[in-house]
Structure 1
Amino acid sequence: MSVAVSTRFPLAMDVFMGRNVTNVVCRWQQLYGEQGQYLVSVKREMAGKNKTEVSCTLMVQKDPENSYIPLWIALALFVALTLLYFLGFYVSKLHCTQKCCHWLRGKLVSYEPKSTEPPRPVAEFTKSRRLLSLDTFRGFSLTLMIFVNYGGGGYWFFEHAAWNGLTVADLVMAWFVFIMGTSVGLAFHAIMKRGATRIQLLRKLTWRTLILFVIGVCFLNYGPVDGPLSWSWARIPGVLQRLGFTYFVLALMQACFGIKDIDNYQFGNWWAAIRDVILYWPEWIIMAALETLWLCLTLLLPVPGCPRGYLGPGGIGDDGKYPNCTGGAAGYIDKWLLGENHIYRSPTCKELYKTTQPFDPEGILGTINSILMAFFGLQAGKIILLYRRRPQSILKRFLFWAILLGIISAILSKCTQNEGFIPINKNLWSLSYVTTLSSFSFVLLGIMFYVLDVKNWWGGQPFIFPGMNSIFVYVGHSLLGSFFPFSWELKFPASHAEPLFQNLLGTSIWVFLAYLLYKKKFFLKI
């Protein structure tokens, strides 16, 4: 008998004696390599007068292939192109190169060497132009999101984790939410400085929220293969819906409690060292109340047929004790308020844990922690505003928050995948997931801020282009992802080379389209 097995998850195999499933004579667990062929030999031999012994032998008939070769080649090409870009940029700035270019163009003007003045202070960044680090971080997250949504070359770590744990695919949306919070803080401060009233801010944030909801529900809810849209099965939650509601709550707090004259609180108070928290104490109270609500519902809400505080995947997980408890309170609330037909029916845990219950990773309860993730991003924006004349202070504050949130994550998860108080789980948007990804975000934003906005070592290319047209690129890649040239019928779907080329090409096309729109100064805003 031959059978194909998963090469993504370790496979546990038991050999029973007779029909008694408790009489296990052989047991092993192994992660099998791709395109490998394995032979399992089970033999029963007489070991005595009335005694038999069963021996199991696992043999490799064909060695598995090295599936990472296409990925290493793609990475090497990317590194080579990056080095060529920076080398060309460096050469173009040389005195002799620029002088030669002037001579070739026939310009009879005196050549003036490049100014050696130090980079502009951060104070000018927030007043005269956008922070490059924000758009670059957003664009980097969006580019990676497109790649993993298109398939990620078929590699398991570019797909979402089955339940607990983190993969590359689990990082991108959280980063996007974080940077949305940072942008809200900077944008609303600038709008309030220009004299906008709170009523105008409310109109703006309400309109933007409604547009995000409409796009998410009406345009990204189904594909052409589904036929005419029926409201009897239409999925209500979604990525843009969650982003819209998260933006609404965060922007509403800023409209109500934002501080216009933030410069008046720079120095001179005993609480100056923590003014980025003290000045916004109403927002912290609101977030503490929301997080308390999440903890109470998640850990204390009675769910029929499930243990209180259950955070598992259900199905065959936990030895099959709770097959209908997928997501615990989060799944129960979604089914109770929205109905089973209006939430996601193919969660990432379905393949591994053989679940039968629908579960939506963009559900209601997880949206509370999405707001918390954006709030940490908002905190980064407040730090930039308060310390904009002292870049080193910004970096120190970012590092402090990264370490603090990292410690909280270590305590909640016990530095394990499944044994923590609250495991890291993107499906649930658990508290440990939010603190972990917020810690990562502070580190990444701090690095980009230092490289792009303080030192001017890099202009953010190519990620800054999709970062400045994020709505256009996200909606476009979602609607057109199944059409050529973003997708085609694969001749060798079992390999990684062709899927990886297809996904990288599709992602590159969207980055190039964003670049063209950037050159035309076209920016789609809501």
Structure 2
Amino acid sequence: MMHNLSLDLMILVDDVGGILPAINHSPWNGLTLADYVMPFFLFIVGVSLGLTYKRVSCRVNATRKAILRALKLLILGIFLQGGFFHGLNNLTYGMDIQQMRLMGILQRIAIAYLVAALCEIWLKGNDHVTSQLALLRKYQFQWLAASVLTVIYISLLYGLYVPTWQYQIPDATSSSAPKTFSVKCGVRGDTGPACNVVGMIDRKILGIQHLYRKPVFERTKQCSINSPDYGPLPSDAPAWCQAPFEPEGLLSSVMAMVTCLVGLHYGHIIVHFKDHADRIRLWLIPSSAFLVLGLALDIFGMHINKALYTFSYMCVTASAAGFLFAGIYLLVDIHGYRGMTLVLEWMGKHALVIYILAACNIIPIVIQGFYWKQPQNNILSLIGIGR
């Protein structure tokens, strides 16, 4: 059910977030409703992997199938979010390979899924689980993998040097050469929009032309007179305001893997503990610990930030996912309130199709293909969506 709820939230924030900025993604530091969606989805992917691979007859075959699933999802993500469909205001289609976006939501899920699946297939002991300590011992190498990923992320985020960099955008006022902007950095450990390591790694490895062109920091006060909504640039806007930035980038996806591994632990509890009270207790303990740790880190300067997928953000959102998961389990599995879940269960069975049609704008683009005399005269413009 939580998987289905995550899907509902994803579609809600994609379609309504532009109208109600309060539920849209936070412009930079902080949390809104939209910022919980991706971690919730990754968390429940981890839970499901714990159930899927509780018995593995052949590790090699299981690995091959996991790699194929991840590749399919990765390719689908590049096709849908790489720019094949040009959007609500453009009826053309096709992908410019030199400019296509390489990362995205489905690509991040594919990468996190593959890492968690490989950990579950190869990194677990043969211990018989009779206690919480035995559970930790059986999966100690998975926790070690999560710790190593976290250390790598934090070390790179705060240790790498970010030099001054440049980017170009077409000049909207003329057909002359594109305008060049220089962003002055020369710092280490900066977590602002301009000089963070997450963006630098994506620019170096993926290429700036393959990054997302409408990042959330365009809605900050420095970059929008309508903040927290999108709007015209202030007269004193800094140079980085119009730069591309990948919210599902390479380094930030490292912490997304950790969220998936946390969900995997909650799935292990279902597999090894059959008593309702034991399950609830073993879910609430790490959820509470993650919440305290995440809030403490935020207070001491490691800000909760979705775009960077900071460790504090991972802790707080994993905590929320754990509490929500335990609450849904209490309502549905223990007290039997299943009536409210029927629609969500149906959506869960068709999750990928619904996501592609709704969240990736396929339905609006198809509808917009029918117009009267001019492309602007379509159903979407009548109801105010395509303007």
Q: Would the TM-score normalized by the shorter structure come out above 0.5?
A: yes
Q: Give yes or no for the alignment of 1:155 onto 2:20.
A: yes
User: For the residues of structure 1 that align with 2:22 and 2:136, how far apart are their CA atoms?
Assistant: 37
Secondary structure at the counterpart of residue 157 of structure 1? coil
Give the C-alpha shift of residue 491 in structure 1. Answer: 5.1
Describe the superposition over 1:394-428 as per-residue Cα deviations: whole angstroms up to 9, x where unpaired.
101111111100110111011xxxxx421111111
Q: Sequence identity, in percent? A: 26
In the alignment, what sits opposite 2:132? Answer: 273
Superposition map of 1:448-487 within 5 A:
448-459=328-339, 460-477=341-358, 478-483=360-365
In the alignment, what sits opposite 2:35? Answer: 170
In the alignment, what sits opposite 2:255? Answer: 369
Give runs of ≥4 in structure 1 deviating > 4 Å. Answer: 484-488, 490-493
What one-letter code is carried by the residue in structure 2 that aligns with 1:185? G
2:121 alignment partner, one of 255, 267, 277: 255
Distance change in 2, residues 1:488/1:447 (3 Å): farther
What one-letter code is carried by the residue in structure 2 that aligns with 1:303? V
In the alignment, what sits opposite 1:341? Answer: 209
In the alignment, what sits opposite 1:441? Answer: 321
2:303 alignment partner, one of 423, 436, 448: 423
Q: Give yes or no for the alignment of 1:313 onto 2:188.
A: no
In the alignment, what sits opposite 2:295? Answer: 410
Report if aligned partners of 1:139, 1:470 keep a CA contact under 8 Å in 2.
yes
Give the C-alpha shift of residue 468 in structure 1. Answer: 2.3
User: For the residues of structure 2 that align with 1:171 and 1:446, how far apart are their CA atoms?
Assistant: 16
What one-letter code is carried by the residue in structure 2 that aligns with 1:443? F
Give the C-alpha shift of residue 220 in structure 1. Answer: 3.0
User: For the residues of structure 1 that align with 2:18 and 2:26, how far apart are their CA atoms?
Assistant: 16
In the alignment, what sits opposite 1:186? Answer: 51
Secondary structure at the counterpart of residue 379 of structure 1? helix
User: For the residues of structure 1 that align with 2:322 and 2:34, how far apart are their CA atoms?
Assistant: 19
Describe the superposition over 1:47-82 as per-residue Cα deviations: whole angstroms up to 9, x where unpaired.
xxxxxxxxxxxxxxxxxxxxxxxxxxxxxxxxxxxx
Q: Give yes or no for the alignment of 1:298 onto 2:157.
A: yes
Give the C-alpha shift of residue 257 in structure 1. Answer: 2.0
Secondary structure at the counterpart of residue 235 of structure 1? coil
User: For the residues of structure 2 that align with 1:172 and 1:488, how far apart are their CA atoms?
Assistant: 30
What one-letter code is carried by the residue in structure 2 that aligns with 1:461? L
Distance change in 2, residues 1:273/1:188 (3 Å): closer
User: For the residues of structure 1 that align with 2:213 and 2:17, how far apart are their CA atoms?
Assistant: 22
User: For the residues of structure 2 that align with 1:468 and 1:445, how far apart are their CA atoms?
Assistant: 19
Give the C-alpha shift of residue 150 in structure 1. Answer: 1.4
What one-letter code is carried by the residue in structure 2 that aligns with 1:381? G
Superposition map of 1:15-164 within 5 A:
136-152=1-17, 154-164=19-29
Secondary structure at the counterpart of residue 187 of structure 2? coil
User: For the residues of structure 2 that align with 1:396 and 1:409, how far apart are their CA atoms?
Assistant: 20
How many residue pairs were aligned? 331
What one-letter code is carried by the residue in structure 1 that aligns with 2:346? F
Distance change in 2, residues 1:153/1:287 (3 Å): closer
2:82 alignment partner, one of 202, 221, 239: 221
User: For the residues of structure 2 that align with 1:430 and 1:411, how far apart are their CA atoms?
Assistant: 13
Report if aligned partners of 1:150, 1:481 keep a CA contact under 8 Å in 2.
no
Distance change in 2, residues 1:142/1:350 (3 Å): same
What one-letter code is carried by the residue in structure 2 that aligns with 1:139? N
Give the C-alpha shift of residue 180 in structure 1. Answer: 0.4
Give the C-alpha shift of residue 445 in structure 1. Answer: 0.4
What one-letter code is carried by the residue in structure 2 that aligns with 1:219? L
Unaligned runs of 5+ in 2: 164-184, 224-240, 369-377
In the alignment, what sits opposite 2:275? Answer: 390
Secondary structure at the counterpart of residue 4 of structure 2? helix
Q: Give yes or no for the alignment of 1:285 onto 2:285.
A: no
TM-score normalized by the length of structure 2? 0.81
Give the C-alpha shift of residue 356 in structure 1. Answer: 2.9
Report if aligned partners of 1:276, 1:379 keep a CA contact under 8 Å in 2.
no
Describe the superposition over 1:250-301 as per-residue Cα deviations: whole angstroms up to 9, x where unpaired.
1011111245x67x332xxxxx332222211111111111111001100010
User: For the residues of structure 2 that align with 1:186 and 1:422, how far apart are their CA atoms?
Assistant: 33
Describe the superposition over 1:188-212 as per-residue Cα deviations: whole angstroms up to 9, x where unpaired.
114x2xxx20011011101101100
Report if aligned partners of 1:217, 1:238 keep a CA contact under 8 Å in 2.
yes
Describe the superposition over 1:100-157 as per-residue Cα deviations: whole angstroms up to 9, x where unpaired.
xxxxxxxxxxxxxxxxxxxxxxxxxxxxxxxxxxxx1111110111111113471112
RMSD of aligned alpha carbons: 2.1
User: For the residues of structure 2 that align with 1:213 and 1:484, how far apart are their CA atoms?
Assistant: 24
What one-letter code is carried by the residue in structure 2 that aligns with 1:293? I
Describe the superposition over 1:312-353 as per-residue Cα deviations: whole angstroms up to 9, x where unpaired.
123xxxxxxxxxx2xx10000000011100111210102323
Superposition map of 1:499-514 within 5 A:
none
Describe the superposition over 1:488-522 as per-residue Cα deviations: whole angstroms up to 9, x where unpaired.
435575xxxxx7xx9xxxxxxxxxxxxxxxxxxxx
Describe the superposition over 1:366-412 as per-residue Cα deviations: whole angstroms up to 9, x where unpaired.
0100001111111100111121x211011011111111001101110
What one-letter code is carried by the residue in structure 1 that aligns with 2:298? S
Report if aligned partners of 2:77, 2:107 keep a CA contact under 8 Å in 1.
yes
Give the C-alpha shift of residue 443 in structure 1. Answer: 0.6
User: For the residues of structure 2 that align with 1:177 and 1:161, how far apart are their CA atoms?
Assistant: 19
Secondary structure at the counterpart of residue 343 of structure 2? coil
User: For the residues of structure 2 that align with 1:476 and 1:309, how far apart are their CA atoms?
Assistant: 40
Secondary structure at the counterpart of residue 144 of structure 1? helix
In the alignment, what sits opposite 2:380? Answer: 489
Give the C-alpha shift of residue 462 in structure 1. Answer: 1.7
Larger displacement relative to structure 2 (283-292 or 473-482) = 473-482
User: For the residues of structure 2 that align with 1:488 and 1:245, how far apart are their CA atoms?
Assistant: 38
User: For the residues of structure 2 that align with 1:467 and 1:306, how far apart are their CA atoms?
Assistant: 47
Report if aligned partners of 2:198, 2:250 keep a CA contact under 8 Å in 1.
yes
Secondary structure at the counterpart of residue 466 of structure 1? helix
Larger relative contact order (Cα-Cα within 8 Å, sequence gap ≥ 6) = 2
2:103 alignment partner, one of 221, 226, 237: 237
Report if aligned partners of 1:137, 1:467 keep a CA contact under 8 Å in 2.
no
What one-letter code is carried by the residue in structure 1 that aligns with 2:285? F
User: For the residues of structure 2 that align with 1:479 and 1:277, how far apart are their CA atoms?
Assistant: 43
User: For the residues of structure 2 that align with 1:350 and 1:138, how far apart are their CA atoms?
Assistant: 30
- Which is greater in Rg? 1
What one-letter code is carried by the residue in structure 2 that aligns with 1:277? L
What one-letter code is carried by the residue in structure 1 that aligns with 2:315? T
Give the C-alpha shift of residue 484 in structure 1. Answer: 6.5
